[in-house]
């Protein structure tokens, strides 16, 4: 690793062996790496992380396309990368030696793959009785559907979340291209930290598993609560809110620009009326409470829309928030880099990486005593830390490493093979 970088590192004594790929698992280990854990990411030249998104053509290999993925590069910073062919006995041996020196293993392989590789829990416990093993399959590691696969979209579908969004008489509405991935990653980070806390307290490792679908279900937990408590699901209300009246999304001056307004308490109502120049509404006592406004919500929405339509979304938001009225521009995801609050709070930070140069990264979404988890090193190039890890931690000599490379068990170049590509979701 590079020289010391200041910043919070509460997990500096933790070592994680990371066999995850894509978005979900790597998001979990990004949180841990950002907070100081040593995360050793294992890929192989035959099966690099598919979030590298490389195409299997000579041209793509020559131009190092597998090192250019924005998604891969931002989710794998602060990690060390090794390539090990786990299907080779010598590769398995090396993996077990790393696991012997680790606190936890995290993986999101398909069901049965770890066992097939000879890396079952008993295999791991034989070399490290206190190892933690976490996996996060789409539908969970146990149960009738546990062998079923899914992407982040599948996870949102399977949790039933789309039934909680949209018009009362419209279809269920999916809200994200791969919601389940990121949500699963957050749940995995959280559960793994609980296991790590217990391990440091007692020396005891354990099996941890979670279903990404069940993690996703928590984001819409008001749904099962309503069903369980009242026997009926929550009413879908379009863009309205069950408590805040009005809440909606309003067209602004520029084409396809929109402002969300939420009147989260009754004190905001007269302030809203003042900003949109409708003292008549403020003076109408029947509208002083949310319950009173509910009956005339459409008319209120029309009054707001008449005001927003000749303002820029940013100006309208500023005018409303200056009057303590809840409002937020529906920004495009790709415009987040310019977001005022993000920029001023240091959310975006730059990290230079070979092949792609300096690029923005989202820093940790929390600050410890004012500081975010430091960005120390960019995402590893394929096999970048083979020598450092396999030589440094496993004590392999230069000759041994050369022999492993000659045998194709480790390496730094993807092996050309027919494998279907997958585009990384936009996020």
Partner 1 sequence: MGALAGIKVVEFGNGVAVGYCGALLAVCGAEVIKVEAPGRGDTVRHLPPFGEGVAAPEASGMHAFLCAGKASITIDLGQEQGQELARRLAVGANVVLEALGPGAADSARIGYDSLHAAAPKLIMAALSWFGNDGPRRDWAGSDAIAQALAGFIYPIGQKDGPPIIPGGYGAQITGGLTAFIAVMAALIGGQSGADSDECGVLIDQSILEAQTTYTETAGVRTAYDGVRSVRKGLNKFTPTYPQTIYPAGDGWIGVTTLTPAQWFACCDLIGAPELFDDPRFSTSAARNANADELDTYLVPLFAKRPALEWFHEGQAKRVPLAPVPTMADLAELDHFQAREVLARYEHPDLGSFSAAAIPWKLASTPLRKGGAAPRLGQDTRDVLRAELGLGDHELSALAAVGAIGLGGSGS
Residues 46 to 85 in contact with partner 1, rule: CB under 8 A? 68, 70-71, 73-75
φ, ψ for residue 221 (rounded to 5)?
Answer: -65, -20
Residue (326 or 408) nearer to partner 1, CB? 326
Regarding 260 and contact with partner 1 (CB under 8 A), the answer is yes
Report in angstroms how near the CB of residue 321 gets to partner 1 at its nearest.
5
- Residue 92 · residue 85 · CB < 8 Å: no
- Residue 25 · residue 107 · CB < 8 Å: yes
Q: How far is CA 348 from CA 30, 229, 237, 360, in A?
A: 15, 42, 35, 6
Residue (326 or 391) nearer to partner 1, CB? 326
Report in angstroms how near the CB of residue 238 gets to partner 1 at its nearest.
8
Report in angstroms how near the CB of residue 179 gets to partner 1 at its nearest.
7
For residue 41, give every residue at least 6 positions away whose Cβ sits within 8 Å of its Cβ, in sequence order, or none. 18, 26, 29, 49, 76, 79, 80, 81, 82, 380
Question: How many CB atoms neighbour CB 255 within 10 A?
Answer: 6
Report in angstroms how near the CB of residue 178 gets to partner 1 at its nearest.
8
Burial 37-71 (b: 16+ CB within 10 A, else e): bbbbbbbbbbbbbbbbbbebeeebbeebbbbbbeb
Cα torsion 146, 199, 380, 349: sign:
positive
Regarding 155 and contact with partner 1 (CB under 8 A), the answer is yes
Regarding 111 and contact with partner 1 (CB under 8 A), the answer is no
Residue (126 or 221) nearer to partner 1, CB? 221
Binding to partner 1 (CB under 8 A) within 358-387 occurs at 359-362, 364-370
Report in angstroms how near the CB of residue 96 gets to partner 1 at its nearest.
21
Regarding 112 and contact with partner 1 (CB under 8 A), the answer is no
188-191: Cβ within 8 A, 24+ apart: 188/24, 188/25, 188/27, 188/28, 188/106, 188/134, 188/136, 189/27, 189/28, 189/29, 189/31, 189/32, 191/134
Binding to partner 1 (CB under 8 A) within 229-258 occurs at 229-230, 233-234, 236-239, 241-244, 247-249, 251, 256, 258
Q: Which stretch binds partner 1 (CB under 8 A): 86-94, 209-217, 294-302, 382-390?
A: 209-217
For residue 327, give every residue at least 6 positions away whose Cβ sits within 8 Å of its Cβ, in sequence order, or none. 259, 260, 261, 262, 316, 317, 320, 321
Residue (97 or 163) nearer to partner 1, CB? 163
Instruction: Out of 60, 96, 226, 415, name the contact with partner 1 by CB under 8 A.
Output: 226
Binding to partner 1 (CB under 8 A) within 156-195 occurs at 156-160, 162-166, 171-177, 179, 182-183, 186-187, 189-191, 193-195
Instruction: Out of 6, 59, 62, 335, name the contact with partner 1 by CB under 8 A.
Output: 335
Structure tokens at 79: 């990690």
Residue (277 or 368) nearer to partner 1, CB? 368
Regarding 200 and contact with partner 1 (CB under 8 A), the answer is yes
Residue (213 or 390) nearer to partner 1, CB? 213
Instruction: Out of 58, 203, 398, 420, name the contact with partner 1 by CB under 8 A.
Output: 420
- Residue 163 · residue 230 · CB < 8 Å: no
Regarding 25 and contact with partner 1 (CB under 8 A), the answer is no
Pattern of binders to partner 1 over 266-285, x per CB under 8 A?
--x-----------------
Report in angstroms how near the CB of residue 403 gets to partner 1 at its nearest.
35
Structure tokens at 363: 């820093």
Number of residues in contact with partner 1 under rule CB under 8 A = 154
Question: How many CB atoms neighbour CB 401 within 10 A?
Answer: 17
The residue assigned the tokens 């008449």 is 306
For the purposes of burial, counting CB atoms within 10 Å of the CB of 250, is it exposed (0-12), middle (13-18) or buried (19 or more)? Answer: buried
Report in angstroms how near the CB of residue 381 gets to partner 1 at its nearest.
17
Instruction: Out of 14, 389, 390, 396, name the contact with partner 1 by CB under 8 A.
Output: 14
Host H or E run for residue 230: helix 222-230
Strand pairing partners for 329? 259
Q: Which stretch binds partner 1 (CB under 8 A): 78-86, 145-153, 294-302, 396-404?
A: 145-153
Report in angstroms how near the CB of residue 384 gets to partner 1 at its nearest.
20
Regarding 312 and contact with partner 1 (CB under 8 A), the answer is no
């Amino acid at each position: 690793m590079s020289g010391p970088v200041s910043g919070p590192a509460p997990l500096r004594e933790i070592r994680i062996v990371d066999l995850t790929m894509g978005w979900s698992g790597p998001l979990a280990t990004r949180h841990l790496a950002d907070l100081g854990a040593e995360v050793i990411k294992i890929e192989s030249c035959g099966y690099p992380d598919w979030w590298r998104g490389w195409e299997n053509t000579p041209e793509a290999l020559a131009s190092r396309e597998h090192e250019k993925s924005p998604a891969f590069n931002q989710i794998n910073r602060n990690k060390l990368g090794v390539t090990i062919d786990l299907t080779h006995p010598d590769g398995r041996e090396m993996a077990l030696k790393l696991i012997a020196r680790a606190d936890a293993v995290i993986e999101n392989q398909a069901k049965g793959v770890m066992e097939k590789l000879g890396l079952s829990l008993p295999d791991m416990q034989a070399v490290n009785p206190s190892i933690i093993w976490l996996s996060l399959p789409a539908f969970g590691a146990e149960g009738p559907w546990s062998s079923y696969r899914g992407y982040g979209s599948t996870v949102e579908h399977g949790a039933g979340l789309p039934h909680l969004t949209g018009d009362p008489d419209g279809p269920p509405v999916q809200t994200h291209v791969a919601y389940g991935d990121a949500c699963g990653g957050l749940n995995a980070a959280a559960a793994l930290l609980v296991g790590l806390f217990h391990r440091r307290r007692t020396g005891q490792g354990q099996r941890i598993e979670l279903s990404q679908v069940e993690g996703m279900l928590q984001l819409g937990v008001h749904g099962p609560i309503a069903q369980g408590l009242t026997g009926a699901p929550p009413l879908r209300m379009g863009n309205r809110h069950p408590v805040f009246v009005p809440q909606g999304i309003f067209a602004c001056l520029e084409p396809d620009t929109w402002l969300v307004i939420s009147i989260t308490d009754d004190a905001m109502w007269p302030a809203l009326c003042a900003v949109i120049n409708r003292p008549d509404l403020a003076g109408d006592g029947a509208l002083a409470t949310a319950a009173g406004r509910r009956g005339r919500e459409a008319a209120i929405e029309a009054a707001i829309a008449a005001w927003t339509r000749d303002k820029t979304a940013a100006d309208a938001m500023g005018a409303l928030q200056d009057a303590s009225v809840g409002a937020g521009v529906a920004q495009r995801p790709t415009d987040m880099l310019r977001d005022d609050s993000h920029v001023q709070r240091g959310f975006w930070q730059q990290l230079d990486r070979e092949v792609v140069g300096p690029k923005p990264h989202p820093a940790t979404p929390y600050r410890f005593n004012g500081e975010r988890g430091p960005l120390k090193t960019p995402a590893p190039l394929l096999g970048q830390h083979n020598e450092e890890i396999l030589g440094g931690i496993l004590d392999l000599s230069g000759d041994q490493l050369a022999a492993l490379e000659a045998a194709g068990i480790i390496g730094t170049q993807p092996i050309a093979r027919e494998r279907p590509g997958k585009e990384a979701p936009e996020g």
